[in-house]
Amino acid sequence: MTFRLGARDEARLAGEEGPGQQFAMRLVSRAAEAMGAKALLDVVGAHVDACLYLGPATLDFAERLAGAGAQVTVPTTLNVSSLDLIHPELYRGDPDDGRAARRLMECYEEMGCRPTWTCTPYQAGERPAFGENVAWAESNAIVFANSVLGARTHRYGDFIDICCAVTGRAPAAGLHLDEARRATVLVHLDGVSDELVNRDVLYPVLGGLLGRMVGKEVPVLEGLPSGLSEDRLKALGAAAASTGAVGLFHVVGSTPEAPTLEAALQGRRPDSVLSVTPADLRSARDRLSTVAAGALDVVSLGTPHYSVEEFARLVELLDSRRVHDGVVLYAATSREVLNEVSLRGWEAILLTAGVRIVTDTCTYVTPIIDVAARTAMTDSAKWAYYAPGNLGLEVVFGSTEDCVESAVAGQIVRDERIWSDE
């Protein structure tokens, strides 16, 4: 059966609803054909990554679409931009690039998108229901929607994301379909201590390892505690989507399509079975670092953007102490979370402690960190994976506890004990 458009889709493609809809439908239908879809389906929302300025082509596209009168037809959130509009003094980039980035942001607002400027729309009030189809871009948002919420989105990228938002349609292919959501790889934890399993730091490391192990396959993890927190699942998924191409994972007893192993496998046997040992995890943790000791210039937290619960932990760990004079500690988050943090009185506490809060963007995609900085520390496997190439920094990965102790001490501090298999 070949790809076919519905009557309204054909009308849009013919220009009957204006040039903006025509342009967007042309791209969505071409993408569907390339994906082998037989039809398009309705989506109830979208999350757009194309609002991040990556050069003139990104602005040219948005201006063409907005100039053609395109308007989103479903609720649409926006990913991080290239500017922090709340803290504009943090921007250290080229002024012309900054102006282009601002114009790009305006284009997406003109098309009716909600100016959330966050990679975690699920922390900003946008949470599609189980089984609902959406068109989400940005790797951590995609994997969270599919895995943690049980909504359905394929891995959409720049330009297709906004076109799906304009048309309210997406290819009926990939992770929108039941068959593609079946777990194909069973991953066991073998001999990993209860202490490590119950620490937050395990989950970004496990995710980083998982992405390398399974690539674009759909894994199901067995042996983790039931009812894992959203922040732990967020960290696992973000890392797996960065080191691999994971758009969906299952954790038995924690994610909605895996109440049992059999449910995640859809009653079939896994295509392959893999084990994760303590030695595997130590190697995965070490792979996230380019240095292991020494002086420290920067600590970057909040990739993906920090949640209210993660800020609560940060305030607790700082315990009224100040960041070392030689270290800059950045914590990135969404506007919605920052508002809640401020209402709880934590923003003032963090600023007094020397924390610099970043909104609307991320420190590995926007020139915020001083070019003179040499070594940075993070609790994010995603940040550790991308920052060396993007920023030219030496990076060390550690737990949030390690990051706070290091920021206060002015040098790298890590708890090695928890990584022992003895």
59-75: average pLDDT:
98
Tokens describing residue 104: 């790009």
Q: What is the pLDDT of residues 373-388, one digit of tens each?
A: 999 999 999 999 999 9
Give the C-alpha separation, 44 to 23, whole Å.
20
Res 197 pLDDT > 90: yes
Res 275 pLDDT > 80: yes
Confidence tier at 2 by pLDDT (50, 70, 90) = confident
Res 159 pLDDT > 70: yes
**H helix or E strand, kind and range, residue 302:** strand 298-306
**H helix or E strand, kind and range, residue 22:** helix 19-34
**What is the pLDDT at residue 46?**
98
Res 178 pLDDT > 90: yes
Give the C-alpha separation, 247 to 145, whole Å.
9
Confidence tier at 32 by pLDDT (50, 70, 90) = very high
Q: What is the pLDDT of residues 132-143, one digit of tens each?
A: 999 999 999 999
228-255: average pLDDT:
98
Q: What residues pair up with 274 in beta bridges, in sequence order?
A: 187
pLDDT, the chain, mean: 97
With beta carbons less than 8 A apart as the criterion, state whether 361 and 81 touch. yes
Q: How many residues does the chain have?
A: 422
Q: Helix %, strand %, coil % for the chain, to 5?
A: 40, 15, 40
46-72: average pLDDT:
97
326-344: average pLDDT:
98
Q: Which residues contact 234 (CB under 8 A, 6 or more apart)?
A: 120, 140, 144, 148, 304, 307
**What is the pLDDT at residue 419?**
86
Give the C-alpha separation, 403 to 298, whole Å.
10
With beta carbons less than 8 A apart as the criterion, state whether 153 and 46 touch. no
233-241: average pLDDT:
98
**What is the pLDDT at residue 257?**
98
**What is the pLDDT at residue 126?**
85
211-237: average pLDDT:
97
Confidence tier at 1 by pLDDT (50, 70, 90) = low
**What is the pLDDT at residue 125?**
83
Confidence tier at 422 by pLDDT (50, 70, 90) = low
Res 154 pLDDT > 80: yes
User: What does DSSP assign to residue 289?
Assistant: -
Res 372 pLDDT > 90: yes
Give the C-alpha separation, 256 to 164, whole Å.
26
Confidence tier at 368 by pLDDT (50, 70, 90) = very high
Query: Among positive and negative, which fits the CA dihedral 193, 197, 201, 203?
Result: positive
Long-range contacts of 385-394 (CB under 8 A, 24+ apart): 385/208, 385/239, 385/242, 385/243, 385/288, 386/242, 387/300, 388/290, 390/364, 390/365, 391/364, 393/298, 393/369, 394/290, 394/291
With beta carbons less than 8 A apart as the criterion, state whether 9 and 39 touch. no
175-188: average pLDDT:
98
Q: What is the pLDDT of residues 281-298, one digit of tens each?
A: 999 999 999 999 999 999
Q: What residues pair up with 113 in beta bridges, in sequence order?
A: none
Tokens describing residue 283: 């190697």
> Cα-flanking dihedrals φ and ψ of residue 37, to 5°?
-70, 150
**What is the pLDDT at residue 421?**
61
Q: What is the pLDDT of residues 76-119, one digit of tens each?
A: 999 999 999 999 999 999 999 999 999 999 999 999 999 999 99
